[in-house]
Amino acid sequence: MRVLILTGLSLAMLAACSQKSDRETLTEACIADGEAPETCDCITGAMEEKLSPDLFRRTAAAIGREKRDIEDFVESLSMSDQLEFAASLSAMISCELTLQDDE
């Protein structure tokens, strides 16, 4: 019985170690949508900085893990969450503009 419990705990720990961070998940989803990796890294960093930890976590889950459309996800948010998301848009847009200017 003890071996079974230890094996289960070991497997749970390994699964937790292999999970990607919210930032990695969002960056990969962005890249899969066709954006440049540098742009995606900048956008994800801006989101992580500007959004509350809870909204950032929920965004990563919806966009990165559940593969929901970002517009549908934002529309499903409460008004206060939508306003918080909107406040982060200028930082995300500046990522795209800055990296386009560098090319």
Which pLDDT score is estimated for 9?
A: 46
Residue type, 14: L
Cβ neighbours, 10 Å, residue 20: 13
Residue pLDDT tens, the chain, 103 long: 554 454 554 444 444 555 789 999 999 999 999 999 999 999 999 999 999 999 999 999 999 999 999 899 999 999 999 999 999 999 998 887 776 655 5
Determine the Cα–Cα distance for residues 59 and 22; give it in Å rounded to an integer. 9
CA distances in angstroms from 76 to 15, 30, 31, 79, 92, listed in the order given: 30, 20, 23, 9, 20
Which pLDDT score is estimated for 47?
A: 95
